[in-house]
Amino acid sequence: MTPFIAPGATLGVVGGGQLGRMFAHAAQKSGYRVAVLDPDATSPAGAVADEHLRAGYLDAEALARLAATCAAITTEFENVPAEALRTLGRTRPVAPDAAAVVVCQDRAAEKAAFVRAGVACAPHAVLDGPADLDAVAADLLPGILKTARLGYDGKGQRSVTDRAGLARAFAELGGVACVLEKRLPLMAEISVIVARSVGGEFVALPVQENLHRDGILAVTRVPARAVGPATAAQAVALARRIAEAIGYVGVLCVEFFVLAGDALVANEMAPRPHNSGHYSIDACDLSQFELQVRAMTSAPLVAPRLHSPAVMLNLLGDLWSAGGTGPAIEPPWARVLALPGAHLHLYGKREARPGRKMGHLTLTAANDATAEATARAAAAILGIEGW
């Protein structure tokens, strides 16, 4: 059992994006120092870290420095080179470790992990090359073709309806290894964020209900309205089964499709805090980032409590684009902040680009109906599409 790492120590994070930034805030609040490894001199996490190692993720000198400086290390994005985590793991606790991250980096390996854990996932086929196209079962169409690696926020995906479309989509995606998933009639999408310690302690945030647009999370509601308590409890139990099956340590998000009759189908998982859990900073007594700190330092894992119903809006670079013409225009934050229960989080990114995650806005209230109404008012002010 890994001994407790007390405040005052330095914690490391591989990756300098907004998840690393929010991790740094949580760690520093608890008295830890934070070192970030990221090559971008303007990275959001590097800007707030106690130490920013500006080097590539496989830079031997930087990895040695991170290991020498930090008592434990985590990652804030799943596409970090697994070899970097293996190298760090030889001398320091790394949560999650390379073996778990490798599973989450490959959709085919991820589906196989769901199956081994006894958790239902969408009917699918793995396509390693053009020769596999003819073997695809007819009942998998229409479907969604996804690259096995390096896909996120709707990137690396094509919707296909027939075999001709499948062949075109496979070619458009570069002929790389892909997973074809059968398109399912979804009633809703939910996510479960869990934390697991090296000793097997397990806790979960309340189940989140999510709305996506163009493959990017747009709105998160907590408590989830689309499922009842029994289905929510089942989702947590399935996420726990997956985490235990892969020996996961740290914070893990598992996304589920909800089908007719409240049947749950695992969609994908992320080996890190997740966009859908950002509301926990303002609506729970322990955020997903505080759980990340606790899991990697072997601190006690206490079940988070939702003290305020919340709706979270993702803030994309489109809000600054002035309709795609002319110079960027700052959104009307003062009007948004005049709304009761509005919590604005901007990530410190210098350039606003369409589709780029620039921040999030969480609206908390005494009940979910008020949170929903306030979120709709905020969306109207910002020009965010309704739901």
- Residue 154 binned pLDDT confidence (cut-offs 50, 70, 90): low
- pLDDT value, residue 151: 67
Peptide bond into 223 cis (omega under 30): yes
Q: What is the chain's Cα-based Rg?
A: 21
The CA distance from 292 to 281, in Å, is 12
232's tokens: 């929510």
Residue 226 confidence (pLDDT) above 90: yes
The rounded Cα 93 to chain-centroid distance in angstroms is 22
Average pLDDT over residues 359-370: 98
174's tokens: 């570069």
Query: 173-182: per-residue pLDDT in tens?
Result: 999 999 999 9
- Cα–Cα distances in angstroms (integers) from residue 369 to residues 15, 49, 80, in the given order: 37, 38, 40
Burial class of residue 259, CB neighbours in 10 A (0-12, 13-18, 19+):
middle
Provide the 3-class DSSP secondary structure of residue 27.
helix
- pLDDT value, residue 2: 76
Report all structural domains of the chain as residue ranges with CATH numbers, in order of start: 10-94 (3.40.50.20), 123-182 (3.30.1490.20), 188-382 (3.30.470.20)
Burial class of residue 282, CB neighbours in 10 A (0-12, 13-18, 19+):
buried
Average pLDDT over residues 294-315: 98
φ/ψ of residue 325, rounded to 5: -130, 150
Average pLDDT over residues 333-342: 98
Amino acid at 85: L
15-30: burial string, b at 16+ Cβ within 10 Å, e else: bbbbbbbbbbbbbbee
- Residue 257 binned pLDDT confidence (cut-offs 50, 70, 90): very high
The CA distance from 114 to 143, in Å, is 19
The CA distance from 252 to 271, in Å, is 5
Residue 198 confidence (pLDDT) above 70: yes
- pLDDT value, residue 117: 97
155's tokens: 């990137």
Residue 345 confidence (pLDDT) above 70: yes
Query: 113-149: per-residue pLDDT in tens?
Result: 999 999 999 999 999 999 899 899 999 999 999 999 9
Average pLDDT over residues 85-97: 97
The CA distance from 364 to 282, in Å, is 8
Query: 262-301: per-residue pLDDT in tens?
Result: 999 999 999 999 999 999 999 999 999 999 999 999 999 9
Average pLDDT over residues 320-328: 68
> With contact defined as beta carbons under 8 Å apart, do 198 and 250 qualify?
no
Across the chain, mean pLDDT equals 95
Nearest Cα neighbor of 14 from 68, 61, 71, 58 is 58
> With contact defined as beta carbons under 8 Å apart, do 34 and 13 qualify?
yes
The CA distance from 338 to 87, in Å, is 49
Q: Give 129's DSSP letter.
A: S
Sheet of 33-37: strand order equals 51-53, 33-37, 10-14, 72-75
Residue 324 confidence (pLDDT) above 60: no
Residue 326 confidence (pLDDT) above 80: no
The CA distance from 142 to 122, in Å, is 13
Query: 4-63: per-residue pLDDT in tens?
Result: 999 999 999 999 999 999 999 999 999 999 999 999 999 999 999 999 999 999 999 999
